[in-house]
């Protein structure tokens, strides 16, 4: 973005002030995708090994969480003592999206440092998941026993407990330079299972439900059009993905239109966090909050990168302006941007909370779609982008552009 002065200010703070030697319990998933991934991306794109040293430090402190009978990480770990814990309300169970969405970062950390333990721990968790039988075609149970690794629920879908696991199947294959076909095969099986169990055609519109039994669609699920477009564009001849690539891109475009309609249909131009489907192509807001989430902007970015269709830039510009109009706290004497309480009603003040993914993802995708350097698949020939929108090189080492 050309903001090098701001970057170097942050760089100095990280070097001098950031320490992870704290008697503090952190979530393994969030810490991996935000902190480990963020530090690794800063290293990849700047070449400053200080970022890598910090990433290795926090990564090492997370490792005790993986020392479980199932080899899947417990939900949290104390950064100083290494004591791991499960969420009290989960009673020793773990969530698919959490244990299956740390591998890109762990593999990159091993490739960059030469310390294989990170990759080994992450891969063992993923292997345990994939060793289980899907509860439906290509769809894995979204909650598992932390000791055995076996699913404790027949619920499967693309809701909050599952979403990024499926994204990582595709991206792990890409990160491996398309060599580890087990991940691509699992992705293709998921896409087939989603067509069979999750997609809903209502009138002329395509929706995707959180689970096969649900009539709810989450904003979180709007990552899928972009992932499916990327999967379609990268499919190799002789595979199921290549055979279905035209169908999958068509479905991606249809679902992308629905995700944007969630914005376009509201007086504020913002989308509700969840909607319920009411037949005939309609929907009703369920959770009417716009939480600054990035998934629709993310998919608009990938659809534009794959197709070059200017419509996706137009849609991204509309969302950007809606965020400025409704979520900018400066209009109410504050600073930053806040979640909007009710997308169906204009004129409210934004909530006094801004999630880090707004800066790290939402604004990043809205910038990248308009910058020709980043707005095509050429930019990602040797790079991957994590679920938290951190750019990592396939081979781990720094790009060295400061």
All domains of the chain, ordered by start, with CATH?
1-177 (1.50.10.10), 198-379 (1.50.10.10)
254 part of the active site: no
Between strands 93-95 and 143-145, the pairing is: antiparallel
298 part of the active site: no
Sites in the chain below the pLDDT cut of 70: 395-402
30 part of the active site: yes
> Which residue in this structure is represented by tokens 């290795």?
56
| HEC readout, the chain | CCCHHHHHHHHHHHHHHCCCCCCCEEEHHHHHHHHHHHHHHHHHHHCCHHHHHHHHHHHHHHHHHHCCCCCCCCCEEECCCCCEECCHHHCCEEEHHHHCCCHHHHHHHHHHHCCCHHHHHHHHHHHHHHHCCCCECCECCCEEECCCCCECCCCCECCCCCHHHHHHHHHHHHHCCCCCHHHHHHHHHHHHHHHHHCEEEECCEEEECCECCCCEEEHHHHHHHHHHHHHHHHCCCCCHHHHCHHHHHHHHHHHHHHHHHHHHCCCCCCCCCEEEECCCCCEEEEECCECCCCHHHHHHHHHHHHHCCCHHHHHHHHHHHHHHHHHEHHHHCCCCECCECCCCCCCCCCCCCCCHHHHHHHHHHHHHCCCCCCCCHHHHCCEEECCCCCEEECCCCCCCCC
Q: Which entry of 34, 84, 107, 253 is annotated as an active-site residue?
A: 34
| pLDDT at residue 402, as a whole number | 36
295 part of the active site: yes
| pLDDT at residue 401, as a whole number | 43
| pLDDT at residue 22, as a whole number | 97
Q: Which entry of 98, 123, 142, 163 is annotated as an active-site residue?
A: 163
Report pLDDT digits (tens) over 356-373.
999 999 999 999 999 998
Q: Which entry of 295, 298, 361, 388 is annotated as an active-site residue?
A: 295
- CA–CA–CA angle 311, 244, 203 (5° rounding): 55
Q: Which entry of 11, 25, 30, 257 is annotated as an active-site residue?
A: 30
Between strands 76-78 and 84-85, the pairing is: antiparallel
């Amino acid at each position: 973005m050309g903001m090098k002065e701001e970057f170097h200010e942050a760089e100095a703070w990280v070097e001098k002030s950031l320490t992870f030697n704290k008697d503090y319990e952190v979530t393994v998933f969030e810490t991996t995708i935000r902190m480990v991934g963020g530090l690794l991306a800063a290293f990849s794109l700047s070449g400053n090994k200080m970022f890598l040293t910090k990433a290795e430090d926090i990564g090492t402190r997370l490792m005790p969480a993986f020392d479980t009978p199932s080899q899947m990480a417990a939900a949290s770990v104390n950064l100083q003592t290494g004591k791991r814990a499960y969420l009290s309300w989960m009673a020793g169970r773990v969530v698919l999206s959490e244990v299956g969405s740390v591998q890109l970062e762990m593999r990159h950390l091993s490739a960059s440092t030469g310390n294989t333990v990170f990759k080994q721990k992450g891969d063992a968790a993923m292997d345990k998941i994939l060793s289980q039988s899907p509860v439906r075609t290509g769809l894995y149970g979204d909650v598992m026993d932390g000791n055995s690794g076996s699913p404790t629920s027949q619920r499967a879908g693309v809701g909050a407990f599952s979403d990024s696991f499926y994204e990582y199947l595709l991206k792990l294959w890409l990160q491996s330079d398309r060599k580890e076909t087990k991940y691509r095969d699992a992705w293709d099986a998921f896409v087939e299972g989603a067509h069979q169990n999750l997609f809903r055609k209502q009138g002329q519109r395509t929706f995707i439900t959180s689970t096969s039994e649900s009539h709810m669609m989450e904003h979180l699920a709007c990552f899928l059009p972009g992932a499916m477009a990327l999967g379609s564009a990268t499919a190799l001849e002789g595979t199921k993905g290549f055979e279905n690539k035209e169908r999958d891109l068509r479905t991606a475009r249809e679902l992308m239109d629905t995700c944007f309609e969630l914005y376009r249909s509201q007086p504020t131009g913002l989308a509700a966090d969840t909607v319920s489907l009411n037949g005939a192509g309609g929907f009703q807001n369920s959770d009417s909050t716009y939480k600054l989430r990035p998934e629709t902007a993310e998919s608009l970015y990938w659809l534009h990168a794959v197709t070059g269709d200017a419509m996706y830039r137009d849609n991204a510009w509309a969302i950007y302006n809606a965020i400025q109009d409704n979520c900018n706290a400066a209009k109410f004497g504050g600073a930053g941007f806040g979640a909007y309480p009710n997308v169906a009603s204009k004129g409210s003040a934004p909530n006094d909370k801004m999630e880090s993914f707004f800066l790290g993802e939402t604004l990043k995708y809205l910038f990248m779609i308009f910058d020709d350097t980043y707005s095509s698949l050429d930019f990602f020939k040797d790079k991957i982008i994590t679920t938290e929108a951190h750019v990592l090189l396939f081979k781990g080492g720094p790009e060295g552009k400061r």
